[in-house]
Amino acid sequence: MLLYKLGEIIKDPPVVIDYYAWLDDVDSILKQLKKVDREAYDRVIDLASELQRRAGDMIRDLDDEETPAILSKDQALYFEEASFITSEINALKNV
């Protein structure tokens, strides 16, 4: 269930208004996952941390009103990282 929740949250990147709530949600799920399934946690924590960093970069650039090219690159990097963690989540669901 926690992997499903994490997968759902990362499908939609955060926006400036809900960025901190998004971070809290991801952190909360990761903490719960660590208690319930340490192996799954170990497999997704680095990916999740990188995803949070990418989201932070994207929000910072949005807030700074960067050029569309930079925003597009941020978004592509976010979704690239999201695809990595989604793949790992799907692999864990099949174990």
Query: Distance between CA atoms of 63 and 56, rounded to whole angstroms?
Result: 10
| CA dist., res. 7 & res. 89, Å (int) | 7
Return the pLDDT at 82. Answer: 95
Q: Tokens 């400036």, residue? A: 16
CB atoms within 10 A of CB 49: 13
Residue 95 predicted with pLDDT over 90: no
The pTM is what? 0.89
Structure confidence at residue 88 (pLDDT): 94
* pLDDT at residue 1, as a whole number: 86
pLDDT recorded at residue 43: 94
Range of the domain at 52: 2-93
**Residues 30-80: pLDDT tens digits?**
999 999 999 999 999 999 999 999 999 999 998 888 899 999 999 999 999
Number of domains making up the chain: 1
Q: What DSSP letter does each residue of 25-90 carry, written as one string? A: HHHHHHHHHHHH-HHHHHHHHHHHHHHHHHHHHHHHHHHTT--HHHHHHHHHHHHHHHHHHHHHHH
Nearest to 3 by CA among 44, 47, 55, 50: 44
pLDDT of residue 52: 96
pLDDT at 94 over 90: no
